[in-house]
Structure 1
Amino acid sequence: MAQWLYSEASPATQREIARVRAHELGAHWVGSYEDNGISAYTGAARPSLDRLIAACHAGLVDVIITFNISRLSRADPLDVVPVLIDLLDRGVTIVSIVEGEFRRGNASDLIRLVAGLNAAHAESRSKSAAVSAVKAAARELGGYLSGKAPYGFALAPETRHTADGDPFVIQRLARRDDEAAVIRHVVGRLLDADSPATLTGIAAALNADGIPTRGATVGKQTANSAWCLRTLDRIVRDPRVAGFAAEVVYADRTRPDGRPSASVAGYRIVRDPDGRPIEAHPRIIDPETWFRLQHRLDRRPTRAAPLDPPRPALLSALGILYCECGAAMKSHRNTRHGFRPAYRCTRPRGVRRPGDHAGDCTISQRALDEHVVGNVFAHATGSDRSWWSGAPLDERRAFVALLVRRITVTKAPGPGCRAPVAERVSILLTCGILVSQVSFAQAKPAASLEA
C-alpha cells in the first residue's frame, strides 16, 4: 500500500500526524505533494495535485492522506467530484485526518465527500467576495495593490478615510534606504561618463562585495540568491524608482507546469488623461535621470548572431536537476553546427562559497538524459520502455518529474576530462532509492514501492 500526504502549505506537525495515520493503516509512506502559494479555489494550475493524480493512475499510490478535504480542492464540486470519484473507482482510498475515510462503493462516504467539498467552495467564494470588496476600497483611496514591494521600497500602512468618514488602512510604498543606495550606485555606474559599466559586470561586483539581494535578506527559499543581469535590468527598468505609478507586464508564455509565466517582461507607466506620467511613490532617482538611463540601456549592442530561442529539454525546469554547488542546472543548446547540447550550472558570476567548484560545470545533455531514464526504468517501473521513444516530450518530462526527486551533478575532474556520467551523477528517486556509483549495488528492488 503506497501512501502520499497531500497538504497545501502543511506544517511539519500535520505531516507527522499523517505519518502516524499511515502507520495505523499499514501503508508505506512515499512522501508529500504540496502546492504552496497556489489557490485551491481560483482554478489556477496545481502541478503537484496533477502529479499526485497521475501517480494514482499509474498505480504507484493507492492511499491519499490529507489533513482535511478542503486541502485537496476548494473549486466548484461539479468540477472536482468526477476526478475524485474516478480515483475512488480505481481503488484509491482518500483519508482525511478531520473527516475520516472515503472509499469506493460507499454511498455515505460519497455524500460526506460532496458535502465537504461544497462547504469548502462556499467558504472560499465568500472570502473571495470580501477580499475583492476590500481591494476595491483600497484602490479608490490610492493604496498599493501590486503585491510585494519592489526592490528599493517597503510597504508602510497609512490610515485614510472613506467617503462616509470611516477610517481605512491602506498600504503605501515607502523608500527603503539601504536598497535605494544600491540602486543609486548601480545607476551611477551605468551612467558614468568616463567608464560606464555593464549590468553583468555590476552584478558580479555586487556578488563579490557581498551586497545581499532582497531574497538573501528576507527570503527562505531564496536565501542563497545572488545578483544577475536579469535582476538588475528589471530593477533599473522599473518606473517606480522614479516615483511613477506603473503596471507590471508579464511574459506572454506559460511555465512547464502549465501555469502563466511569472517572469516580468517590462513595465507600463500609468498616465493621466493628458498623457503625463502619474507620480504615486517616493523617488529614488529623479525622472530625468531615469529616462536618460532607459535611453542608455536601449542603445546597448545586441548579439551579431543571436542564439536560437530556448527549447525545453527532458530535465530542465522541473526543479530536480542541481549542480554539486546547490545551484540549479538549465538546458544550454541551439541548432548551430557542431554545438553539443548540455546542462549548465546557473550559479551567478562572482558567487563562490568555500568548497564550491571553480569555473563552470556542464554535462552532456544526451548522456545525462539516457543515464537518468535508464535508471528510472530499471529501479522504479520495470524493464518495459517500449512506449518511451514515441511519447511526446511533455509526457516524458511529466513521467520523469513523477519518479525523480533530485539529480545532483558533480564537476568533471579537469579540463578535457570526460569522466563517465555514472561517476558524476547521483539520482534520488521518489521511492527513496539513491542511484549513484557508490550506492548502486545496494538499491532496493522496485517491489518496495508496494506493501
Structure 2
Amino acid sequence: MTPYVSRNIRQTELESVRAVIYARQSKRRVDESETSTESQIARGTALADGKGWKTGRVFQDIGKSGWDPDTERAGFDAMMAAVRAGEVDVVVVFSLARLTRQGAMEAMRINDVFMQHGVRLVSVEEPFLDTTHPIGVAVFALIAALAQQESELKSAHISEAKAELKAIGGHVSGRPPFGMKTERVKEGKLVRSQLVPDPETAPTVLKIVDRVMDGETVSGIVQSLNEKGEPSPGALALAAGRKRSGRSRSNITPADPDCPPLWDVGTLNTLLRHPALGGFAAEWVTDPDGKRRRREIMRDKTGAPMAAHKGLMEPIRWYQLQDVLKGRSRATELDWVMSELFARQGRTGSGSPGT
C-alpha cells in the first residue's frame, strides 16, 4: 500500500521515476520548524532519494494560505501545469495540509487531475495514503476534511484571541502611528502588544503638536518639515528596510533621488487625529454609506473612552488639539493644494511653486 509510484509505471522502471516536491508556508519564516519550506523540501527530498527517484523541480509558495480559495499560489499552479504537461510521475508533499486546506472536494479535484495524468501523490507525514483503491480514496478525503476543519478552528481561535487582546487594550494589527512603537506585555495567560512612546520619533510629533497649538497651519508645518529634511513616516519605514545596505536614518533626505513621498497635509492630519496619541484605544469605523473609514476612540458599555496605554500627551491636550484641527477644517482643501505645490518644489528643486 506504499503510494510511491504512478499506476502507469512498472516496478522495473522505478529508477526513472520523475519526482517533484511541493512546499507551502502560510507565513514567511525561516526556522527549524516543520512548517518552514526549507524543512519541508529537505524531508521530501530525503524521501525521494530513499526511494531512488530522480528529484526534479521544487515548487513552493511562501506566505500563501492553503485555506483561502482566492489566494493565488504561483508555485502550486506551476506544479499543476507540469503535471498536465506530462513532466511528472510523483508529487511529494510534507503533508496533505501543505497541498490544500480547502476540504475534501478540492483535494479530490486535485487528485483527479493527478490520476488522469498517471501521477501519484506521496505524503511524508502520511505514508499510508494510497488513492489507487476505494478505501485509500476515502482515507484521502477524510484527511483533507480534517485539514480544512483544523484551518477553520485555527482561524476562529485567532479571531477570539484578537478580540480578547483588543478588549484589554492590546494593539492587535497595523503599523503603530508615527511617534509610537509596540512592546510585549504579559497579561495573565495572554501576551499583548502595547503601544508606548517611541523615544526616536516622539519628540518630532510633540514639536509638531506644539506648533499647531501655537497657531501654525498644517501646510506651513509640512513645508518646513520637508525643507529641513525631516524624514516622513514613509521615509523611516523605507530606511528600516535599508539597514542591511548600510543606509541610516540620516541618509534619507528630500534631495535623495530614492527618497519616498515627503510629508503632506493628509499624512500629518491623519497622524494628529490618531486617538493613540492621547493614550486611547482606537478602532476603524466606516460611514453608513461605506465610502469613508476613519479611526475613532473605542468606548466601553457606558460610553466612556477606553484608555489603552500611555499616550504621547495627556488626554485633555489631545482633545484640545482636535478642537484646533476641527476649527481649521474649512481650510483643508487649500492646505492640500499648498502642500502639493511645496512637495513638488522639494522634488524638482525649483525656486518657488510658480516658477
- Equivalence for 1:346: none
Q: 1:103 to 1:274 in 2, by over 3 A?
A: closer
- Equivalence for 2:144: 117
What is the CA–CA distance in structure 2 between the aligned matches of 1:176 and 1:15, rounded to whole Å? 41
Query: TM-score normalised to the size of structure 2?
Result: 0.58
Which of 1, 9, 12 aligns to 2:38? It is: 12
Task: Map 1:374-413; keep pairs closer than 5 Å.
Answer: none
Which of 122, 133, 150 aligns to 2:176? It is: 150
Contact between 1:248 and 1:268, CA under 8 Å: does it hold in 2?
A: yes
What is the CA–CA distance in structure 2 between the aligned matches of 1:240 and 1:13, rounded to whole Å? 41
1:183 aligns to 2:205 (yes or no) = yes
Q: Any gaps of 5 or more consecutive residues in structure 2?
A: 1-17, 29-35, 249-257, 350-355
Displacement of 1:117 after TM fit?
Answer: 1.9
Q: 1:85 to 1:54 in 2, by over 3 A?
A: closer
- Equivalence for 1:416: none
What is the CA–CA distance in structure 1 between the aligned matches of 2:21 and 2:286, rounded to whole Å? 34
Displacement of 1:57 after TM fit?
Answer: 7.5
For 1:6, the aligned partner's letter is A
| SS across alignment from 1:98 | coil
Q: Could you say what the CA RMSD is over the residues aligned between the two structures, in angstroms? A: 5.0
Displacement of 1:299 after TM fit?
Answer: 0.5
Q: 1:237 to 1:139 in 2, by over 3 A?
A: closer
Query: TM-score normalised to the size of structure 1?
Result: 0.47
1:193 aligns to 2:210 (yes or no) = no
Contact between 2:21 and 2:92, CA under 8 Å: does it hold in 1?
A: yes
The farther-off stretch of 59-68 and 282-291 is 59-68
Contact between 1:203 and 1:232, CA under 8 Å: does it hold in 2?
A: no
What is the CA–CA distance in structure 2 between the aligned matches of 1:187 and 1:2, rounded to whole Å? 63
| SS across alignment from 2:280 | coil
Displacement of 1:157 after TM fit?
Answer: 1.7
Which of 257, 281, 284 aligns to 1:245? It is: 281
1:173 aligns to 2:195 (yes or no) = yes
Q: Which has the higher contact order (CA 8 A, sep 6+)?
A: 2
Figure out how many residues of one structure are paired with residues of the other and give that number: 283
Structure ranking higher in helix proportion: 2
For 1:299, the aligned partner's letter is T
Displacement of 1:153 after TM fit?
Answer: 2.9
Which of 303, 322, 332 aligns to 1:299? It is: 332
- Equivalence for 2:56: 28
Task: Map 1:61-210; keep pairs closer than 5 Å.
Answer: 62=88, 63-77=90-104, 79-91=105-117, 92-100=119-127, 105-128=132-155, 130-131=157-158, 134-135=161-162, 137-140=164-167, 142-144=168-170, 146-147=172-173, 150-151=176-177, 152-159=180-187, 167-169=188-190, 171=192, 172-185=194-207, 187=209, 193=216, 196-198=220-222, 202=226, 205-207=229-231
For 2:70, the aligned partner's letter is A
Contact between 1:74 and 1:124, CA under 8 Å: does it hold in 2?
A: yes
Q: 1:169 to 1:101 in 2, by over 3 A?
A: closer
Structure ID, larger Rg? 2
Q: 1:54 to 1:98 in 2, by over 3 A?
A: closer
Report sequence identity in percent: 19
Displacement of 1:115 after TM fit?
Answer: 3.3
Contact between 2:96 and 2:144, CA under 8 Å: does it hold in 1?
A: yes
